[in-house]
Chain A
Amino acid sequence: MSVNSNISIALSDIGVMTRRNMLRYFRLPQLLIFNALLNVVLLLLFNYVFGGAIRTGGIAYIQYFLPGFMVQTVVFGSTQTSVGLAEDLSKGMIDRFRSLPISRPAFLTGRVVADAARYAILIALMIIVGSIMGFRFENGVLPALAGVALIILFGIALTWVGVFIGTSVRDVETAQVAGFVWVFPLVFASSLYVPIETMPSWLQVFAQVNPVTPMVDTMRALALGGSLSASLWKTLVWDGVIILIFLPLALRRYRLMGQ
Chain B
Amino acid sequence: MPSSIVCTDASISVEGINKRFGNVQALDNINLMIDQGTVFALLGPNGSGKTTLVRILTTLLRPDSGSAHIAGFNVIREAQSVRSVIGLAGQYPAVEEILTGKENLEMIGQLYHLGNVEAKARATELLQKFELSDAENRKVKTYSGGMRRRLDLAAALVASPSILFLDEPTTGLDPRSRLGLWEIIAAQAKDCKTVFLTTQYLEEADRLANKIAIIDKGKILREGTNQELKQCCGGDTLVKVRIADRNELPKASDALKELGGENLHSYPDMGEITLPANGGTFLLPEVVRRLDAEKILIAELALKPPTLDDVFLSITGHPAEETTELKEGSSNTP
Interface digits, A69-110 against B, CB 8 Å rule (1 contact, 0 not)?
Answer: 000000000000000000001111111111111100000000
Nearest-CB residue, chain B, relative to A25:
B98
> CA A27 – CA B92 in complex, angstroms?
23
A-B CB contacts (within 8 Å), total count = 71
Stretch at the interface among A12-20, A54-62, A128-136, A210-218: A12-20
Nearest-CB residue, chain A, relative to B83:
A101
Decide: A99 and B60 in contact? CB cutoff 8 A. yes
Decide: A99 and B99 in contact? CB cutoff 8 A. no
Give the distance to chain A from B158, nearest Cβ to Cβ, in Å. 9
Listed A/B pairs (14) with beta-carbon separation below 8 Å? A12-B113, A20-B96, A23-B99, A89-B331, A92-B90, A92-B94, A95-B88, A95-B331, A96-B90, A99-B86, A101-B84, A102-B111, A258-B55, A259-B62
Given known A-B contacts A92-B92, A92-B93, A95-B90, A23 and B98 have beta carbons under 8 A apart: yes
> CA A34 – CA B69 in complex, angstroms?
49
Decide: A95 and B112 in contact? CB cutoff 8 A. no
| Chain A residues with CB below 8 A from B331, complex form | 89, 94-95, 170, 257-258
Give the distance to chain B from A58, nearest Cβ to Cβ, in Å. 50
Decide: A95 and B98 in contact? CB cutoff 8 A. no
Summarize A's interface: helix, strand, loop or mixed. Answer: helix
Q: Which of A1-31 contact B (CB under 8 A)?
A: 9, 12-13, 16, 20, 23-24, 27-28
Identify 13 new A-B residue pairs, CB closer than 8 A, beyond the known A99-B86, A100-B112: A20-B96, A20-B99, A23-B98, A91-B94, A92-B90, A95-B88, A96-B90, A99-B59, A99-B88, A101-B84, A170-B331, A257-B331, A258-B60
B interface with A by C-beta (< 8 Å): 55, 58-62, 80-81, 83-84, 86, 88, 90, 92-96, 98-99, 103, 107-108, 110-113, 139, 155, 331-332
| Chain B residues with CB below 8 A from A258, complex form | 55, 59-62, 331
Number of interface residues of A (CB under 8 A): 27
Give the distance to chain B from A192, nearest Cβ to Cβ, in Å. 35
A interface with B by C-beta (< 8 Å): 9, 12-13, 16, 20, 23-24, 27-28, 89-102, 170, 257-259
Q: Which of A9, A24, A90 contacts B98 (CB 8 A)?
A: A24
| Chain A residues with CB below 8 A from B93, complex form | 92
Decide: B88 and A97 in contact? CB cutoff 8 A. no
Given known A-B contacts A16-B107, A170-B332, A27 and B139 have beta carbons under 8 A apart: yes
> CA A101 – CA B109 in complex, angstroms?
11
Decide: A99 and B92 in contact? CB cutoff 8 A. no
Q: Which of B61, B80, B88, B98 contacts A27 (CB 8 A)?
A: B98
Q: Which of A24, A28, A100 contacts B111 (CB 8 A)?
A: A100
| Chain B residues with CB below 8 A from A99, complex form | 58-60, 83, 86, 88
Decide: B98 and A101 in contact? CB cutoff 8 A. no
| Chain A residues with CB below 8 A from B98, complex form | 23-24, 27-28
Nearest-CB residue, chain B, relative to A13:
B111
Q: Which of A13, A93, A101 contacts B94 (CB 8 A)?
A: A93
Give the distance to chain B from A166, nearest Cβ to Cβ, in Å. 13
Given known A-B contacts A28-B98, A95-B331, A101-B84, A12 and B139 have beta carbons under 8 A apart: no
Decide: B59 and A98 in contact? CB cutoff 8 A. yes
Residue from B58, B98, B331 with most neighbouring chain A CB atoms (10 Å): B331
Give the distance to chain B from A110, nearest Cβ to Cβ, in Å. 10
Nearest-CB residue, chain A, relative to B64:
A259
> CA A28 – CA B141 in complex, angstroms?
12
Q: Which of B62, B95, B110, B332 contacts A90 (CB 8 A)?
A: B332
